[in-house]
Structure 1
């Protein structure tokens, strides 16, 4: 059995029951104890299941509230830098990019260099500043209302501006990801910006570290059928 198949079986089995002993999982799914312990440790470290003495338990989805951008920039830095490196590999020369507001997209902005001659559109003042520091020549800051807590520009003007453009690739921030890989944000205006960017992009990637897993926030804006998730674990 391939690891991916085994992991899905374990997740589905434990989530269905809420709690299972190691013996029950091993017996019902036909997975050797040594392999099972290793898989459960990986799932625990990825915040997909919770290892408990003698077994495993489902993680109840937590609710994510909006936090200040400067606070988010100081959290899970290594994971976000890893995600940014993976996202950078998805950018080709001369492509037009939409770069969403957020802490993970901030770390991607740090890596984008002028040699690729990309046009970058963003609704984040801080991302625009980082791009300018990197000597990116074509930076377009979208109009709208500034959200002070996140440094994001949003509102009807932002959405109207986005509808005029077609992007080769978009990179979106994510506040929460539930167990079915639905993607959430904390604000309806920002959700609509993300939806518009998805609609107007050839390829869209969501950037979210493992701390966002098994959680929900105020507004669902997409799911795994529409965008590809880039996390430190994939």
Structure 2
């Protein structure tokens, strides 16, 4: 059925049926199944989220009853908005200078940035992300061919981030040039947020040890608010997103953060 022919209540009822049946749904899948635009799907999800019928997550939505104190598993998030994350990662990796010390937080967007740093000469990477550590760990190459890697301790979350007092204590002893940090959601009022209280505390420790902070978040994170804020917009040196970010969000971020950088989504 064409977009014009299907009424909004019909679309939203179909979306709820899918979410209730499968537990989660991606925006891209709804665009294909409903035959509507990306913007139309996102508007429908906004309406349903405000009513409490479901919960928005980056790249899609989940059943409202599935919202917990933790983010979805790393593997679940990894397949969402891959093109947008690649654009963000390409733009963010350009901020990393040879010979610098960089901290990389947990999250799939941060992981995408890390994947582009393996050939940066003289780099030292501090991370509380188990997937990033696995990605960057030495594999028998010649000395200097890989970044020097420092992994914090801590307890792993569902999203494979190490958090808690052990992680916080280790991080507080360090000084890094740049922190690349992901977010569950970003909004004008709340800043960058996560649904995990322990992760928010560890994120703050990372922020405190960094000379500059780059928040990496694709356009679907805008307007999503998690339980706990870890940084306000005015505290962010670089906000790196993709060109899918809408005009209103661009205006807010341009006025609030040190510098807004938008990666180009490849066709």
What is the TM-score when the length of structure 2 is the normalising length? 0.63
Equivalent position SS for 1:169: strand
Could you report, residue by residue, the CA deviation over 1:96-130 in whole angstroms, capped at 9, with x for unpaired residues? Answer: 01000100011111111234211000001110111
Structure 2 residue 229 is matched with structure 1 residue 220: yes
Distance 1:137 1:182, change over 3 A: closer
The correspondence of residues 71-90 of structure 1 with structure 2, limited to 5 A, is 71-90=76-95
> Following TM superposition, by how much is the alpha carbon of 1:181 offset from its aligned partner in structure 2, in angstroms?
6.2
| 2:151 counterpart (110, 128, 141) | 141
CA distance in 2, matches of 1:132, 1:72: 22
CA–CA distance in structure 2, aligned partners of residues 170 and 204 of structure 1: 5
Residue 79 of structure 1 aligns to a residue in which SS?
helix
Q: How many Å separate the matches in 2 of 1:225 and 1:143?
A: 30
* 2:239 alignment partner, one of 224, 229, 234: 229
SS in 2 for 1:126: helix
Whole-angstrom CA distance in 1 between matches of 2:76 and 2:174:
32
Find the aligned partners of 1:157 and 1:71 in 2 and give their Cα distance: 26
Cα shift readout 1:7-53 (whole Å, capped 9, x = no counterpart) = xxxxxxxxxxxxxxxxxxxxxxxxxxxxxxxxxxxxx59x6xx59xx
Does the aligned pair in 2 maintain the 1:94–1:118 contact within 8 Å? Answer: yes
SS at match of 2:180: strand
RMSD: 2.4
Give 1:132 shift.
Answer: 2.4
Structure 1: gaps (5+ residues): 1-43, 52-56
Spell out the pairing of 1:137-176 with structure 2 (5 A cutoff): 137-147=147-157, 149-176=158-185
**In structure 2, distance between residues paired with 1:110 and 1:120:** 12
Q: Kindly state the Cα deviation for residue 133 of structure 1 after the two structures are TM-superposed.
A: 6.4
- TM-score, length-scaled by structure 1: 0.71
Contact (CA 8 Å) 1:72, 1:103: kept in 2 or not?
yes
SS at match of 1:191: helix
Q: How does 1:81-120 map to 2 (within 5 A)?
A: 81-120=86-125
Structure 2 segments unaligned to the other structure (5+ residues)? 1-38, 58-66, 140-144, 244-261, 263-267
Residues paired across the two proteins, number: 182
Distance 2:217 2:122 in 1: 26
CA distance in 2, matches of 1:63, 1:160: 33
